[in-house]
Structure 1
Amino acid sequence: MTIRLIRGAAVAAAMVSGVAACSAPSGGSGGGESAYSVVIGVASEPDTLSPLLGYGKDGNSKIFDGLLARDADLKLRPALAKALPEVGDDGLTYTYTLRDGVEFSDGRPLTASDVVFTYETVLDEKTNNTARSELDAIKAVRADGDDKVAFTLKYPYAPFAGRTVLPIVPEHVAGDQDPNTGSFNTKPIGTGPYVLSAWSRGEKLTFKANPRYWGGAPKVKTVTMAIIEDDDVRATRLRSGDLDGAILPPNLAATYKNDSDESDSGKKTYVAKSYDFRAVTLPTENEVTGDRAIRQALDVAVDRQAMADKILDGAGRPAYGPLPIDDPWFTKDTERGQDLDKAKQILDRAGWKTGVDGVRAKDGQRATFVLRYPSGDKVREDHALAYASDAKKAGIDVKAESATWEVIEPRMKDDAVLAGGGSTGDPDFGLYTLLNSSLAGDGFNNMGRYDNPAVDKALDTGRRNQDEATRRAAYDMVQRELVKDPGYTFLTHIDHVYVLADRWRGLTTQLEPHEHGFASGPGWNIEDWQPKQ
Structure 2
Amino acid sequence: MPDFRIFTIFSKRGLKNLLICDRRKFMNNLSRFLVLLALMFAMSACGSNNSSPSTGSVKNTVADEGKPAYGDMIVRGSIGDASVLLPVLASDSASFDITGLIYNGLVKYDKDILLTGDLAEKWEISEDKLKIKFFLKKDVLWQDGTPFTAKDVEFTYKLYIDPKTPTAYATDFLKVKEFHVIDDHTIEVTYDKPYAPALGSWGQAIHPRHLLEGKDVTQSPLKRDPVGTGPYRFKEWVTGEKIIVDSYHKYFEGRPYIDRVLTRTIPDLATMFLELKAGRLDQMGLTPLQYKRQTDTQWFKDNFKKYEYLTFSYTYLGYNLRDWKFEDKRVRQALTMAMNRESIVQGVLLGLGQVTNAPYKPDTMWYNHNVKKYPYDPEGAKRLLAEAGWKLENGVMQKDGKPFEFTIITNQGNELRKNTATIIQSDLKKIGIDVKIRVIEWAAFLKNFINKRNFEACLLGWGIGIDPNQIDIWSSKKTGENELNFVSYNNPEVDTLLEQGASVYDPEERKKYYDKFQEIVAEDQPYTFLYVQQALPIISSRFRGIDPAPIGIGYNFIKWYVPKQLQKYTIEP
**What TM-score bracket applies, with the shorter chain setting the length?**
0.7 to 0.9
Structure 1, residues 228-266: CA drift from partner, whole Å, max 9, x if none? 11111111111111111212322223345588x452660
Note the 1:303-382 alignment, pairs <5 A.
303-334=340-371, 335-356=373-394, 358-382=395-419
CA contact (8 A) 2:167 2:483 kept: no
**Hey, what's the Cα distance between the residues in 1 that align with 2:263 and 2:89?**
21
**Hey, what's the Cα distance between the residues in 1 that align with 2:359 and 2:226?**
33
- Post-superposition offset of 1:381: 0.6
1:252 aligned partner, one-letter code = Q
The equivalent residue for 1:36 is 72
1:202 aligns with 2:233: no
Structure 1, residues 100-132: CA drift from partner, whole Å, max 9, x if none? 222222222211111111121121111121221
The equivalent residue for 1:425 is 466
Seen in structure 2, the aligned counterparts of structure 1 residues 59 and 200 have a Cα distance that, compared at 3 Å, is closer
Residues paired across the two proteins, number = 498
Seen in structure 2, the aligned counterparts of structure 1 residues 256 and 205 have a Cα distance that, compared at 3 Å, is same
**Hey, what's the Cα distance between the residues in 2 that align with 1:107 and 1:456?**
44
- Post-superposition offset of 1:469: 4.4
The equivalent residue for 1:50 is 86
The equivalent residue for 1:473 is 512
1:432 aligned partner, one-letter code = I
Seen in structure 2, the aligned counterparts of structure 1 residues 326 and 203 have a Cα distance that, compared at 3 Å, is same
**Hey, what's the Cα distance between the residues in 2 that align with 1:265 and 1:52?**
42
* 1:490 corresponds to which of 511, 517, 529: 529
1:508 aligns with 2:547: yes
Seen in structure 2, the aligned counterparts of structure 1 residues 145 and 80 have a Cα distance that, compared at 3 Å, is same
TM-score normalised to the size of structure 1? 0.87
The equivalent residue for 1:8 is none
* 1:150 corresponds to which of 184, 188, 195: 188
* 1:218 corresponds to which of 253, 256, 269: 256
Percent of matched pairs sharing the same residue? 29
| 118-127 or 28-37, which deviates more | 28-37
- What RMSD in Å do the two structures reach over aligned CA positions? 2.7
Note the 1:51-450 alignment, pairs <5 A.
51-54=87-90, 61-83=100-122, 85-88=123-126, 90-175=128-213, 177-255=215-293, 257=295, 261-263=298-300, 266-334=303-371, 335-356=373-394, 358-404=395-441, 405=445, 408-409=449-450, 412-428=453-469, 431-443=470-482, 445-450=484-489
Q: What secondary structure, in the 3-state scheme, does the structure 1 residue paired with 2:556 have?
A: helix
Structure 2: tracts of 5 or more residues without a match: 7-54, 59-63, 566-573
**Hey, what's the Cα distance between the residues in 1 that align with 2:291 and 2:71?**
22
CA contact (8 A) 1:322 1:422 kept: no
Structure 1, residues 304-337: CA drift from partner, whole Å, max 9, x if none? 2221122112222112121132221111122442
Bigger proportion of residues as helix: 2
**Hey, what's the Cα distance between the residues in 2 that align with 1:422 and 1:359?**
36
CA contact (8 A) 2:314 2:464 kept: no
Q: What secondary structure, in the 3-state scheme, does the structure 1 residue paired with 2:245 have?
A: strand
The equivalent residue for 1:527 is 558
1:172 aligned partner, one-letter code = H
- Post-superposition offset of 1:275: 2.6
CA contact (8 A) 1:289 1:369 kept: no
**Hey, what's the Cα distance between the residues in 1 that align with 2:168 and 2:141?**
29
**Hey, what's the Cα distance between the residues in 2 that align with 1:117 and 1:393?**
56
Structure 1: tracts of 5 or more residues without a match: 1-22, 513-520
The equivalent residue for 2:15 is none
